[in-house]
Structure 1
Amino acid sequence: MDCMTTKLNDKDQFIEKIKNSDSTLAAFYNYDAMNEQNYKLKLDQATNGREKAVAAVISNYMEDLSLSEAQENNIAQLQQGAKVIIGGQQAGLFGGPLYTFHKIFSIISLSNSLSSKYNQQVIPVFWIAGEDHDFEEVNHTFTYNNKEAKLYKTKYHTMEPPETSVSNYYPNKLQLKDALKQFLKQQPETNHTKELIELCHSIIERYDSWTDIFKALLHEVFKAYGLLLIDAHNPDLRQIEKPFIQTIIEQHETIDHAFRATQGQTMAAGLNQMIQTNTNVHLFLEEDNMRQLISYENGEFVLTKSDKRYSKHELLQLAEQEPERFSNNVVTRPLMEEWLFNTVAFIGGPSEIKYWAELHGVFNTLSVDMPIVLPRLRISYINERIEKVINKYQLSVDDILTNGVHNAKASFIREHASQTVIDQIEEMKQQQQSFYETIKSEVAGNNDNEQLVAKNNDIHLTQYDYLLKRYLLNIERENAISMKHFNEINESLHPMDGLQERIWNPLQIMNEYGIDVFSPSTYPPLRYTFDHIILKP
């Protein structure tokens, strides 16, 4: 598998600011990600004392998997206080978008690099956001049909979408298999399709909850790398979190004030607001089979979807007795993650790393050290077919990844059209506009005639626009094969006006190149980089 990197001209310069150690960001992050000394500093920090308990929970959580030697060793190292590189994601259907896998590769790459450089084991940990209840975000994925050069949406359908955390949701196995069938229906049958179906069916049959199915797929793909997995909504993990949940309840006003104040500071510094929340407690509670946001009103803690109210004493008692019913929101989740783990660096998506800036004051308020914050790797896959078509039209891969093929396609159409026809139509429009200006001055002051002339002008200009549009459309139809080529390129590398990894699903890559395509024996060893990675399987 060939590997190369390229520098994209990102419209959003936030990652570039991190790369350049921008002074604006320094006020909102504890560590400059570009300063090598900070990695050594984090590695040398004293442990938080929770590593044995956390390692035991992870060991129990992963006991239904066939652990690799690397995973068993990493659990043992974690128990002894080894530091971690961590990141997480919601449990998407069939693994979710490709960037979920790329986030994991980012975690693995950086942990391997630091382990080698500093001669001490750094553990890759992936945090499954099982506490999330927004099922509409995880119940679908997309597949690219190469023959039609078109994307298709595949969705797991249920008549009763869960309102509880997805970790508590148990999907219908037959419907999951049907969703897989619909997904692969848009794919060519390859030498790997049967094996991929068998793998997915075995996981669906063996595991029951939505997040356990997700966990099992990730494990099969990444076990050889020693990746450790944990569900944020794991009941045993909640037992460890109990005192911190109670701290959040006790200090909810101080936490909310710190968050609002820091968010105001980031916006004053020119950064976009990332977190939008109306709560002032920043915790959820499972009540009546629903995950409900807690707010503090008139001296009581109230829930958003029921009439249930709690005093502070009652809520603290509930946290003591049933901590598994509590979960974090966007503000407290990073705090809980870092309170649990001895983290060197957190790796997140572009939006994630931005909103961490708004939490700087909350980290300080709760005396939790914010780790080094880094963006995940960005990766695109170009197969032989797409590369051949790109070369045929002499297109720039960088431009395609950034802007798609719209401009290149328009230029192609114009090149194959008669410039004389185009110029004549444009000239007629100018003449019409000139004619309109003359007539308008003649009827000035007569409202009815002014409206008549204006309307007539609009009709003529619309007709000329229509003429040009239809003429160019006919050129498109005459070059249907080339138009399909442009669509192929766009849907492959810039689908839905974004990067491939945000839309495509990893099963598509596995179906084309084998279920071991992401394994160490096949996938190239990646070096952590801010540049965009292009892989040619």
Structure 2
Amino acid sequence: MNVVPERLPANQPLAERYINDFASVSSLYNMKVTDPQTWAQRAAWLDQSKHSRIDRGALVNCLEPYNRLHNNHEAVQKSLELLRQDDTLTIVGGQQSGLFTGPLLVIYKVVTLILGAREASARLNRPVVPVFWIAGEDHDWDEVNHTYLPDRDGQAVKIRMDHERGGHSPVSRTSIDHNHTAGVLKQFESLLPDSEHKSEWMQELRQYMEQSDNLSHAFAKQLGRLFGRFGVILLDSDDSQLRRLEVPVFRQMIQQNDRLTQAYLAAAEKVRALGYEEQATVAEDSANLFYIHSDEIYTNERILLFKRDGMFTDRKGLVTFTPDELLDMLEQHPERFSNNVLTRPLMQESLFPVLSTILGTGEIAYWALTHQAFEVLDLQMPPILPRMSFTMIEEKIQMLMKQFGLSFDDVRQRFDEVRTQWLSEQEDYHLDERFAELRRQFDQMYLPFIESLAEVDPSLPHIAATNQHKIEAQIEYLHRKSSNAVSKQHEVGLRRLDRIAHSLYPFGKPQERTINSYYYFGRYGEQWLDQLLSIEPDLDGGHRLIYM
């Protein structure tokens, strides 16, 4: 495995500026981890602010049964015991549960989590444990119900788990149909490359799906299988026992709701003043909290609460509470409450001694809206550790790139241009030049001819102009057909070129946002993950090419 740094611009301008010009956006954040003093200063603040967080012992007691069920490894138990100690800190990252772990970026986020915890522990000479936050309370099924594997030509194929349901139930409360999962597993297996590791991985995936009531449970078991040996603690944000612990924080969010709203609005204004668009919805009447509602029509409907005339309600009018009624409901049914993207960072900070949080570029952008909200609850925004980014380049792709003389940037930035240029260099017919000359000669002969027809009948030039467009369209059609014939002659070469693009930038997107991790686990086994975890951590989240 050869590792080569290769700049890959962030897909969010604000995140790009955070990574490469922090001073210009420092007013939106707190500290940057590349500053040598950041972790020491943050650790000191965490030590003196223990009173602001949920009791450690109660938190670990809540996390232990969940991890025994889905992530039962000796290293995890050690991490949990360390978390009981007052001097232990955490690095936290999270993601929605995804089908068969989802895209590669999920794996890279956990890799960043582990490497970041190791680096921080070595620098501070105290325990730092990795915690992965599964966002099981999220309700967007279409975001988590699919993944992609390459077919034999390298083209990414979508594998989708359909579900017959309406509404917006949290993923962790959405039961999966085991009759349907058999077909999904069969399609996944058909696309997974044949290797010595394939049957073992498929057997495990079937087992995890059979043992799981919902996609979040299966996701947790898969992450536990891959990362439990590294001591990664897992939690589901929709865990009912965890929700009981969170009651005091939700109470603060309700009682301080107006102040929190003003903090989000002020931050959004600051983001706009710096020339950026806010990456999460900030509304003056939003409570930034969800309520899980059930009645004779809806089951576990996750509805966003708004403030109207001193009441908490939703857009559909399904529920309406006074502030006191909402607080009473919180005490009686904490499992009915849920964070949104702007309050989840506050909940994370209230639960754990967060030395750093691992964020992708989109998350970095919307976290800019939370800085002042932390202060409302007497908290402090944690330093952000950008998720590390990789592109895997297999040996066969390397050979093809060498054959065509392509760099990674050629594929990323100008592949269509390169493809067209290559094809034009292969054919000996010079079709573009010949058809261009045909059009020139046609115009040269036809235009004077049209003008001369006016002497015969003034209406004829108009008819001739219409005829001209038809002839030009036929010439264009012939040009296209001729080009397609040439392309067919060079079909093998074009397929090889396309295979490079399919592998490195499927659908014109970074590989890590599309391809499923089991493609590489299937081909290379766990050695692939071990090699990733042996790489020097990049605290700026830089992109690197991995030559396999």
Give the TM-score taking structure 1 as reference length: 0.92
Task: State whether structure 2 residue 390 is matched by structure 1 residue 379.
Answer: yes
Aligned to 2:136: 130
Shift of 1:115: 1.1
1:225, 1:520 within 8 Å by CA — same for their partners in 2?
A: no
Q: Which moved more, 1:87-96 or 1:449-458?
A: 449-458
Aligned to 1:121: 127
Aligned to 1:237: 242
The C-alpha deviation readout for 1:126-173, integer Å capped at 9, x for no partner, is 10000001111111111110x233221111122225631111122122
Shift of 1:209: 2.6
Task: State whether structure 2 residue 205 is matched by structure 1 residue 195.
Answer: no
The C-alpha deviation readout for 1:443-488, integer Å capped at 9, x for no partner, is 99x9987865664554444444433333322221111111111121
Shift of 1:56: 2.2
Task: State whether structure 2 residue 42 is matched by structure 1 residue 28.
Answer: no
Q: What CA distance in whole angstroms lies between the structure 2 residues aligned with 1:447 and 1:261? A: 69
Change (3 A) 1:431 1:179: same
Q: What CA distance in whole angstroms lies between the structure 2 residues aligned with 1:283 and 1:450? A: 69
2:451, 2:461 within 8 Å by CA — same for their partners in 1?
A: no
1:432, 1:460 within 8 Å by CA — same for their partners in 2?
A: no
Change (3 A) 1:337 1:12: closer
Q: What CA distance in whole angstroms lies between the structure 2 residues aligned with 1:448 and 1:243? A: 85
Shift of 1:4: 3.0
1:404, 1:497 within 8 Å by CA — same for their partners in 2?
A: no
The C-alpha deviation readout for 1:320-339, integer Å capped at 9, x for no partner, is 11111100112111121122
Number of aligned residues: 533
Change (3 A) 1:349 1:465: farther
Runs of 4+ in 1 over 6 A off after TM superposition: 433-444, 446-451
Q: Choose the corresponding residue for 1:338, options 326, 332, 349.
A: 349
1:78, 1:123 within 8 Å by CA — same for their partners in 2?
A: yes
Secondary structure of the residue that 1:281 maps to in structure 2?
A: strand
Q: What CA distance in whole angstroms lies between the structure 1 residues aligned with 2:101 and 2:194? A: 20
Change (3 A) 1:108 1:436: farther
CA RMSD of aligned residues (A): 2.7
Q: Choose the corresponding residue for 1:108, options 107, 110, 114.
A: 114
Task: State whether structure 2 residue 427 is matched by structure 1 residue 421.
Answer: no
Aligned to 1:84: 90
Q: What CA distance in whole angstroms lies between the structure 2 residues aligned with 1:354 and 1:511? A: 34
Q: What CA distance in whole angstroms lies between the structure 2 residues aligned with 1:125 and 1:511? A: 26
Shift of 1:382: 1.6
Q: Choose the corresponding residue for 2:289, options 264, 283, 288.
A: 283
1:143-292 pair list within 5 angstroms: 143-145=149-151, 147-160=152-165, 163-276=168-281, 278=283, 280-288=286-294, 289=299, 290-292=301-303
The C-alpha deviation readout for 1:40-61, integer Å capped at 9, x for no partner, is 1112222344233222222222
Unpaired segments ≥5 residues, structure 1:
none
Q: What CA distance in whole angstroms lies between the structure 2 residues aligned with 1:377 and 1:37? A: 21
Change (3 A) 1:44 1:426: same
Q: Which moved more, 1:206-215 or 1:160-169?
A: 160-169
Aligned to 2:61: 56
Q: Choose the corresponding residue for 1:139, options 134, 145, 148.
A: 145
Q: Choose the corresponding residue for 2:78, options 48, 73, 92.
A: 73
Residue type at the aligned position of 1:19: I
Task: State whether structure 2 residue 329 is matched by structure 1 residue 318.
Answer: yes
Shift of 1:88: 0.7
1:21, 1:34 within 8 Å by CA — same for their partners in 2?
A: no
Q: What CA distance in whole angstroms lies between the structure 1 residues aligned with 2:446 and 2:350? A: 71
The C-alpha deviation readout for 1:378-413, integer Å capped at 9, x for no partner, is 11112222111111111102332x326322211111
Q: What CA distance in whole angstroms lies between the structure 2 residues aligned with 1:461 and 1:367? A: 72
Residue type at the aligned position of 2:365: K
Shift of 1:430: 4.7
Change (3 A) 1:415 1:240: same
2:15, 2:364 within 8 Å by CA — same for their partners in 1?
A: no
Aligned to 2:416: 406
Q: What CA distance in whole angstroms lies between the structure 1 residues aligned with 2:502 and 2:10? A: 19
Change (3 A) 1:464 1:321: same
Shift of 1:276: 2.4
Give the TM-score taking structure 2 as reference length: 0.90
Change (3 A) 1:315 1:208: same
Change (3 A) 1:291 1:435: farther
Q: Choose the corresponding residue for 2:313, options 281, 284, 302.
A: 302
Secondary structure of the residue that 1:282 maps to in structure 2?
A: strand
1:436, 1:454 within 8 Å by CA — same for their partners in 2?
A: no
Aligned to 2:479: 468
Change (3 A) 1:262 1:49: closer
The C-alpha deviation readout for 1:100-129, integer Å capped at 9, x for no partner, is 111111111111111112211211111000
2:134, 2:234 within 8 Å by CA — same for their partners in 1?
A: yes
State the identity as a percent: 27
Q: What CA distance in whole angstroms lies between the structure 2 residues aligned with 1:150 and 1:107? A: 30
Q: What CA distance in whole angstroms lies between the structure 2 residues aligned with 1:224 and 1:498? A: 32
Change (3 A) 1:473 1:320: same
Residue type at the aligned position of 2:418: A
2:450, 2:461 within 8 Å by CA — same for their partners in 1?
A: yes
Change (3 A) 1:426 1:309: same
Secondary structure of the residue that 2:341 maps to in structure 1?
A: coil
Aligned to 1:349: 360
Task: State whether structure 2 residue 98 is matched by structure 1 residue 98.
Answer: no
Secondary structure of the residue that 1:398 maps to in structure 2?
A: helix
Q: What CA distance in whole angstroms lies between the structure 2 residues aligned with 1:520 and 1:392? A: 30
